[in-house]
Amino acid sequence: RVFAPALKDEYTSSLTVHMEQVCLLITDKDLHEVILVGHSYGGMVVTGVAAKLRDRIRRLVYLDAALPLPGQSLYDILDLGPSPSSSRRPALPEPSPPYVEKLHYDPSRMETLPKTYIRCTKSEFSDVTHVATQRIAAAKQGWTYLELPSSHVPMADMPEKLFQILLDAAEE
């Protein structure tokens, strides 16, 4: 079964509320062995959800997504990319509450959780996601790393390939 919750409005909500929405879906439907997929900002959400509901999560999948360290916001992560003077710097989202809220979690809760990172190499955020790939390479274990020659929206560019990657992640 697949669930794709629509998160509450970014201008009147927060990262905490978005995480609570996903946690509520998981607990209300009594889901276990969940493969939690986060795209873009959704990397913040799935990280927080996995830290809270570790016993219900089987795998985390980051799809060209933010990979936060404890205490980071999405804006902190975007700031790790190219300098503001770089012509490749993507347009930043408005500083809405979910994007500036810092995520606080205990990373030790997720050490043994299998994780997949799918980096879209033609994404306007590729310089930012490169930081994630460096962290994954340094971790050396617990990660499956894949690249797609896609924009930041592989579900539109390469839907069949993305679908197969997600099915493969579910079978691991």
Over residues 80-95, the pLDDT tens digits come to 655 444 455 556 677 7
Average pLDDT over residues 30-43: 96
What is the number of other CB atoms lying within 10 angstroms of the CB of residue 27?
Answer: 12
- Per-residue confidence (pLDDT) for residue 80, from 0 to 100: 65
By the 8 A CB rule, do 148 and 162 touch?
yes
Q: What is the pLDDT of residues 42-54, one digit of tens each?
A: 999 999 999 999 9
Average pLDDT over residues 100-122: 94
Q: How far apart are CA 57 and CA 52, in angstroms?
A: 10
- Per-residue confidence (pLDDT) for residue 81, from 0 to 100: 58
pLDDT score of 62 more than 60: yes
- Per-residue confidence (pLDDT) for residue 131, from 0 to 100: 84
N- to C-terminal Cα distance for the chain? 17
pLDDT band at 141 (very low <50, low <70, confident <90, very high): confident
Average pLDDT over residues 122-150: 89
Whole-angstrom CA distances from 169 to 21, 43, 93, 100, 115 are 24, 16, 30, 30, 9
How is residue 160 annotated by DSSP? H
Q: How far apart are CA 146 and CA 129, in angstroms?
A: 12
Token readout for 46 is 């799935």
Average pLDDT over residues 46-69: 96
Average pLDDT over residues 138-150: 91
Q: Report the number of secondary-structure helices (H) and strands (E) in the chain.
A: 7, 4
- Per-residue confidence (pLDDT) for residue 84, from 0 to 100: 45
**Residue whose token pair is 């490749």:** 88
Q: How far apart are CA 41 and CA 3, in angstroms?
A: 17
Q: What is the pLDDT of residues 107-116, one digit of tens each?
A: 998 889 999 9
- Per-residue confidence (pLDDT) for residue 83, from 0 to 100: 47
From the list 63, 88, 91, the residue with the least C-alpha distance to 162 is: 63
Task: Read off the pTM.
Answer: 0.91
Q: How far apart are CA 111 and CA 3, in angstroms?
A: 25
